Amino acid sequence: MLVGLCVNGENGAKSIMDLKVNISIDYLWGSQAFQKNEWGFINFLVGPNATGKTLFAEQLRQQCLPQGLKPRYLNAERLTGLEKRNYDWFAYSHIDRGLDISQFQTYKNQGMNYGLAADAFVILKQKPDMRIKIEASLSQLFGRRIRLAEEGGFLKPKVQRIRIGGEYGLKENECHGLKELITLLTFLYDDEYDCLIIDEPELHLHPQFQTLLLQEIRRIAGDPRTDPGKKCFFIITHSPYYVDIRTPEELKHCIVFQPEKLPTYVNGLEGEDEWRVRRLLPRLNTHHKQFFFASRPIFVEGYFDQHLFTLIQEKRGKLLGASGACIIDINGKEEMDLFFTLCKKLNIDAQFVSDLDTLFHGKLRRSVSEDDRCKEYLQREGLGVDLGKPLGEVEQAIDDCVKEIETASDKMTTLNSSLRPFHDALSEADKIRDERNRISKKRYILILGLKLIRGQIESFIPAELEKLNFIQGRLLKIIKAFQQCGVYLLSRGELENYLPSYDGNPYVIPDNVKTEAFERERDFILSTDLSEDQFRSRYGELVTILDEASHSTAVSMDTYLGYTIADWIHKVQSAFVRGEVRDKESLETNVIVEWATYSRIFELSEFSTTADGFTCRIKLKPLVDPSKRDVTFNNTTVAANFKLNTDPPSANTASAV
């Protein structure tokens, strides 16, 4: 029955086992091979579909066998044969009448060879202690009891309802979720196998039952070769619920699969990074864990950013998921730097959108400076290989200009409406006690001022024009260096300065005002349909950053519509040459032209003949083209060259070239 949780590594025991794994999948990884010799008692294999996880698992099973383990692989189709119904055209099951009692060993052999789970009921029949464990769980959780009835030489699993009575066949009438739980718990408790490789244990299970199953896995996890009665686990999952990582040591046993890349895992985590990971893990929720599964996670500094960025891309028809992207909000710059470090170790193509003040404080700028992509860019630009040098030169120039501005402003009796917020922000920064933070804040205010009111700052300190030019020119290259590493800095400072809903001081934005601006902008986006031009006009650079970071694209059917129309043009031309099509009526009834099929895509507006050919005009239906474009072609049109363009309907004429 279900009992208390036992955490790996309790009482100081190491949660590592020796297992030499060397796996190659040529068509995915070329000549490279994945190697790992130390594993946890629980290991997670995560990543997008079609990245080799299942093929990996099949090889993993074979490599466990000669190393003292008795593995059992359960694939994602493990309930095959236990479906409620069999469909005549698609499937036939040898266990329709139940499990043939004379073939128990065959069921077990077939289940082991193919990763199927129906033999769980053979195990329950042969091992009454197992059945007691399962029934204890089912009765307490679901008010159900299993009865393994023998009918005419067949074992027929049946389910009894404890509270209201009645009995029914498990195969025919029980839900997939309960079948999953029964079979998975059976193999969990069975002493015949001490290593379980489970493909997608989350299938059909409610999130809380996913958690329950993982708790049981943790309770019995261990190295069975040194601790009999324990089992080791390899869990292939698409569910963030299952990636239950609690210590930096456990993080090393999460294997990340990505398209056309060798799987990776975190190795060599030590010192400050290990300390930071240890602090992060208790706060690593299911939303954050998406970065294990995304091929292009985009990290942003807060929930407002995540929500608005997602809304903007969604309303523009940009599909983040199609490019393997997802937007993940994290807790500020220090956490952003930690994810930068983790993603680099995992070879994940992560992107980051951060406020402009990242230039002047925090660990992220140090991590970017140490990145080879940054060094290579700086070298190409003739700036050396150390980002610290050009940054230091810019900071010195900024500090000089700030001093000049403060000296000049002391002599000014009045300030215009644009300079007043800038001046007030600098004055407010003087109240910051910590000198480093005070200097960083003033640097941020100046470079933001150069973005927003460059002309007025020039008039304020005309003698420093050369320095101002140097600052802006050098900053462009420094920001580009950040972009080489996937870090996009908001040149307008913070998100709110891109939102028309915010009209306050751009240099100092109170938290309560941020909330109000977010809510107004969110409501506007949700209630308004903007064109692409309107989105770009409203949000400017922000749209460009989101597109570059996400690689997201709008799904367009034009290319495939063009292929279909080209095929039909050829059919019409062939029928015309044979003399079978001479007018609209004969075209619509001709078998080769297949008008009944193609009429779902377009209407036939015109078909007219001339002395030496014909002209045909069709109009696309709104189901496939809301603008209902026209297409005109004739007997000399080269169908193979036809392309559907985006011009107004009257201009969509198929070329004869």
Please report the pLDDT score of residue 398 as a whole number: 97
Q: CATH topology for 10-256?
A: Rossmann fold (3.40.50)
| Percent composition of the chain: helix, strand, coil (DSSP 3-state, to 5) | 50, 15, 35
Alpha-carbon span 40 to 32, nearest angstrom? 23
Q: Which residues of 541-569 are buried (b: 16+ CB within 10 A; e: fewer)?
A: ebbebbeebbbbeeeeeeeebbebbbebb
Query: 625 to each of 554, 570, 630, 641, how far by Cα in Å?
Result: 14, 22, 10, 21
Please report the pLDDT score of residue 609 as a whole number: 95
- Residue 609 in contact with residue 630, Cβ under 8 Å? no
- Residue 225 in contact with residue 68, Cβ under 8 Å? yes
Digit-coded pLDDT (tens) for 500-530: 999 999 999 998 899 999 999 999 999 998 9
One-letter amino acid for residue 473 of the chain: G
The owner of tokens 């290259």 is: 477
Alpha-carbon span 253 to 19, nearest angstrom? 12
Please report the pLDDT score of residue 90 as a whole number: 62
The residue ranges of the chain whose pLDDT is under 50 are: 1-12, 648-651, 655-657
Question: How far is CA 383 from its chain centroid?
Answer: 35
How do 351-354 and 325-329 pair as beta strands? unpaired
**HEC states along 338-375?**
HHHHHHHHCCCCCEEEECHHHHCCCCHHHHHHHCHHHH
Report residue 635 as tokens: 């007997």
Alpha-carbon span 43 to 236, nearest angstrom? 9
Mapped onto helix, strand or coil, the DSSP state of residue 270 is coil
Please report the pLDDT score of residue 12 as a whole number: 42
Q: Which residues pair with 161 in a beta bridge?
A: 144
Please report the pLDDT score of residue 15 as a whole number: 77
Alpha-carbon span 603 to 184, nearest angstrom? 55
Domains of the chain by residue range: 10-256, 370-552, 558-651
Alpha-carbon span 461 to 449, nearest angstrom? 13
Q: Which residues of 26-51 are buried (b: 16+ CB within 10 A; e: fewer)?
A: eebbeeeebebeebbbbbbbbbeeeb
Q: To the nearest 10°, report the CA torsion of 234, 236, 241, 242.
A: 0
One-letter amino acid for residue 350 of the chain: A
Alpha-carbon span 154 to 331, nearest angstrom? 59
Report residue 438 as tokens: 């005070």
Please report the pLDDT score of residue 652 as a whole number: 56
CA angle 381, 386, 392 (to 5 degrees): 95
For 282-291, which contacts have Cβ atoms below 8 Å and span 24 or more sequence positions? Answer: 282/246, 283/331, 284/245, 286/240, 286/241, 287/240, 287/328, 287/329, 288/328, 288/330, 289/240, 289/243, 290/240, 290/326, 290/328, 291/326, 291/328, 291/339, 291/342, 291/343, 291/348, 291/350
Burial class (CB in 10 A: 0-12, 13-18, 19+), 91: exposed
Alpha-carbon span 250 to 236, nearest angstrom? 15
**Nearest C-alpha neighbor of 20 from the set 52, 54, 67:** 67
Alpha-carbon span 441 to 612, nearest angstrom? 78
Phi then psi dihedrals of residue 224, to 5 deg: -65, -15
Non-local (6+) Cβ contacts of 129 within 8 A are none
How do 325-329 and 613-620 pair as beta strands? unpaired
Alpha-carbon span 492 to 513, nearest angstrom? 17
Report residue 133 as tokens: 């464990």
Q: How many residues does the chain have?
A: 657
Predicted structure pTM score: 0.84
The owner of tokens 């030019």 is: 469
Q: How many CA atoms lie within 13 A of 95 on its CB side?
A: 29
Helix (H) / strand (E) element for 467: namely helix 465-484
Query: 319 to each of 288, 296, 550, 561, 579, how far by Cα in Å?
Result: 20, 13, 9, 20, 47
